[in-house]
Structure formats: C-alpha cells, structure tokens
C-alpha cells in the first residue's frame, strides 16, 4: 500500500526533535531547524531525503524502483523515494539515518545516551 505524507510525518516524529515544517515552499521535516526531508511538488513527485552518498549509490545500484534520482540531485546527499513503492520499514530506517546525518550534535548525543 502506498505511503502518504502523513505516514512519513508519523514515522519521522517518532524521532527526537523532529518537526513538520516547510522547505523550498513544500512540506518538510526538520530537526534542530535543519531540513532533512521534503515532499516534492506533485509535478516532481516523491520524497527527497538526506542520504549518505555511499548509501545513495548503493540504493540506486540495487535497482529497487522505490529509489531514484534526477540530474538536479546529482552530487548532492539526497535520495528520491517513491512513496508508492517504498515499504514502511525501509522508510523508517531511512528516516532514522537521515536524522543521524542532520540532527545537531547535542541532540544526537542525548539520543545516543538514552540508547545506552
């Protein structure tokens, strides 16, 4: 079943300090005031999510149709996600990774301490 922006927000806000906001005039996710994901406009489609460049390369090489890019995102640490094809668990894991890449050091440290 296709995921919606509301599903994305519900998963993301399980993470510390995440808030729904706007970024580039579109719905977005931020932590510590820094954007890490945004819903692209209907004409563009998909969710743009911060992603480690090596992970981005691996996802694109996997051939999984849930993950793609466009020339605009070449050389940038963002992967595009088709919400009609990604699984809830894949998205949950990717949101967590994006959170760790974006959250301010103090927030990351608090979360790491809570895990121990």
Q: Residue 116 above 70 pLDDT?
A: no
CB-based contacts of 79, cutoff 8 Å, min separation 6:
48, 49, 51, 55, 56, 59, 60, 67, 68, 69, 73, 94
**83-110 per-position pLDDT tens digit:** 999 999 999 999 999 999 999 999 999 8
pTM here is 0.93
The pLDDT value recorded for residue 30 is: 98
CB-based contacts of 101, cutoff 8 Å, min separation 6:
36, 50, 51, 52, 77
- When pLDDT is averaged across residues 29-53 and rounded to a whole number, the result is 93
Q: Distance between CA 40 and CA 48 in Å, rounded?
A: 7
**pLDDT confidence band for 68 (50 / 70 / 90):** very high
Q: Residue 33 above 80 pLDDT?
A: yes
The pLDDT value recorded for residue 113 is: 86
């Amino acid at each position: 079943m296709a995921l919606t922006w509301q599903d994305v927000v519900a998963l993301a806000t399980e993470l510390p300090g995440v808030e729904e906001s706007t970024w580039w005039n579109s719905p977005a996710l931020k932590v510590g005031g820094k954007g890490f994901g945004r819903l692209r406009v209907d004409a563009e489609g998909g969710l743009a999510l911060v992603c480690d460049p090596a992970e981005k390369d691996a996802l694109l090489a996997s051939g999984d149709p849930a993950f793609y890019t466009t020339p605009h995102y070449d050389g940038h640490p963002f992967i595009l996600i088709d919400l009609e094809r990604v699984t809830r668990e894949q998205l949950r894991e990717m949101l967590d990774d994006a959170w760790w890449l974006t959250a301010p050091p103090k927030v990351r440290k608090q979360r790491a301490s809570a895990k121990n």
